[in-house]
Amino acid sequence: MLSQIKHYIFDMDGVLWHGDTALPNLPELFETLRRLQIPHVFATNNASKTPDEYVAKFGRMGVPIHPHQVMTSALATAHHLARNHDPNNTKIYMIGKIGLRQALENKGFHVLDRADYKTPAQIVVVGFNQSSIYEDFACATIHIRQHGAKFVGCNPDVTFPSERGLVPGNGSQLALITAATDQEPEIIGKPYPTMFYTALDMLGPQASGNNTLMVGDRLNTDIAGAATADIKTLLVLSGITQPADLAASSLQPDIVMANITELLQKIKALHNL
């Protein structure tokens, strides 16, 4: 199947790195793709960073990329909300970091701070933030319960791969607010197809589901979402989904590999490098 692949979409956390630790052969993989002139983009459910911050992170790991190669769930969420709400007349309370705030503000939304909890927000948006505190969730609950705000989550990932192992992810934050408000969030990021269609657009008019491969580490988001968008899938076992999870699942990827090192080896063999 790899011989049919002309474009790649990569998840990041658990696929390319754990936290700030690059997985083996990361620079060589992307140097090989550049050498072969194979277009590739990055689609992550992590809403905490801006595209420029991802460019800097890749740079520290020896991989030069451009901001236009990065699609985050924050960007997808801001785009979705701006398409369905008038930013000039919509106040948003958010839990998240600079990646989400910048995405929302660049679309023209007014983002409320904690101190503005008495000012009704029309939407509460929740993105991953390791520094969230109780007051963040209290304000979100007030806006949803008392002000009738719409509840939106950037992604449903309940865990996040770090150097220490799995830690709570954005889905865990959403679960806390759901428990406090009795409201389920609208989810924008993977596994919903919006991000995958956007990634295909980023790759250009020659990209299609048949010649593009989504490389991810989560069955329930990366693989499920790409399959819904009719994109070919590769599951790497370096992140969330492990062999026992795969064996127990009715959802199966097109390809399974241990990690990006195995992918690199297969690409080099295919192209006689």
Provide the annotated active-site residues: 11, 13
Q: Dihedral sign for Cα 80, 157, 162, 135, please.
A: positive
